[in-house]
Amino acid sequence: MAYPLVEGNIGEYCTLNGKKVLFDSPEGAELFLPTDEITYYESVRFQEGVLLFWGDHMDRLHKSVAAKENFPIDPDTYRFIAETMIWESGKADGNVRVVLTKTRNLIYFSNMTYPTPEMYKEGIVTKSLTWERVEPHVKVFRGDYKKAVAQAQNTETSFGMPYEVILRGNDGKFVEGGRSNFFVLYKDTVYSPSEDLILIGITRKYVKDAIKDAGLKLEEGAFTMEDLVKMEKEEDDGPPSLGLFVTSSPFDILPVESIDDVKFRSAECPKIQSLMASYQKIVHAYIDSHAHLETV
């Protein structure tokens, strides 16, 4: 299914093949039309003017392109453009999207919905969607997938409108979020599905480091709703040892309050709180070591 190169843009312009293009110009308007070109992308968060984990995002972008068409990419140029745009905008925090086709490279500020403080404190509402992704490790625009996720995200649950969608395979096991990776923490172990089944998130890489820092183990594993309900029922009246969470660049680590009409006490899990703190230490260390860009 054809899909436009630009969605959720903010600001007046983008940089197309190294040239500033206004969105309301004829050339800019074409970017909102569906294209049949294979479209690769990375959304990179920046904090305090620093593009977080840029090298990891570009490595994944290269792997996505190499898996399909294998044309050359230029991460250093993209970085220079992105940092220049950030500096000119005066923004300290936000999101930059890098979009590539075989003939075009495009960089623009994208509108990203960040979690509220209450979501970190209480957890998020989610909705399940049975969907097995094609080539999950290749990050390209897929119109049918985006449509299905959007429909699920607009379906209200007993706990309200979902903030995220959790995908499950035909076997009923949850594998990942619509725009995030999904984890189950139980006692001293964090479980994540096989990497063959998911898009390996950039945040996920550093969450794995945070898991070690927090004194937890990481094992491969996936669970059905029935499994999770059974584990929840085994909990006593003390602090929960079961917690579900999702990770992504916009979210960092977010506890899951509910899936569909089933509630979990993820945000009350002390080990998830410890894990969140360990991850933030990693993020701030990265910012401190890369803080070379001054915003206006």
pLDDT exceeds 90 at position 238: no
Sign of the alpha-carbon dihedral angle for 146, 147, 148, 153: positive
- Please tell me the total number of residues recorded for the chain in this structure: 296
pTM: 0.89
Tell me the pLDDT tens digit for each residue of 214-230: 999 999 999 999 999 99
Tell me the pLDDT tens digit for each residue of 63-89: 999 999 999 999 999 999 999 999 999
Q: What is the pLDDT of residue 296?
A: 38
pLDDT band at 294 (very low <50, low <70, confident <90, very high): very low
Q: Where are the domains of the chain?
A: 13-109, 117-284
Mean pLDDT of 186-193: 96
Q: b/e for 35-58, b at 16 or more Cβ within 10 A?
A: bebebbbbbbbbeebbbbbbebbb
Task: State phi, psi for 235 to the nearest 5 degrees.
Answer: -70, 145
Q: Which residue has the tokens 């993020």?
A: 283
pLDDT band at 1 (very low <50, low <70, confident <90, very high): low
**Domain 117-284 superfamily per CATH:** D-amino Acid Aminotransferase, subunit A, domain 2 (3.20.10.10)
Contact assessment for residue 136 and residue 194, using Cβ atoms and an 8 Å cutoff:
no
Q: Report, at the CATH architecture level, how domain 13-109 is classified.
A: 2-Layer Sandwich (3.30)
Write out the chain in H/E/C secondary structure: CCECCCCCECCCEEEECCEEEECCCHHHHHHHCCECCCCEEEEEEEECCEECCHHHHHHHHHHHHHHHCCCCCCHHHHHHHHHHHHHHHCCCCEEEEEEECCCCEEEEEECCCCCCHHHHHHCEEEEEEECCCCCCCCCECCHHHHHHHHHHHCCCECCECCCEEEEECCCCCEEEECCCEEEEEECCEEEECCHHHCCCCHHHHHHHHHHHHCCCEEEECCCCHHHHHHHHHCCCCCCCCEEEEEEECCCEEEEEEEECCEECCHHHCHHHHHHHHHHHHHHHHHHHHHCCCCCC
Share of the chain above pLDDT 70, in %: 98
pLDDT exceeds 50 at position 293: no
Q: Give the separation between CA 112 and CA 98, rounded to whole angstroms.
A: 14
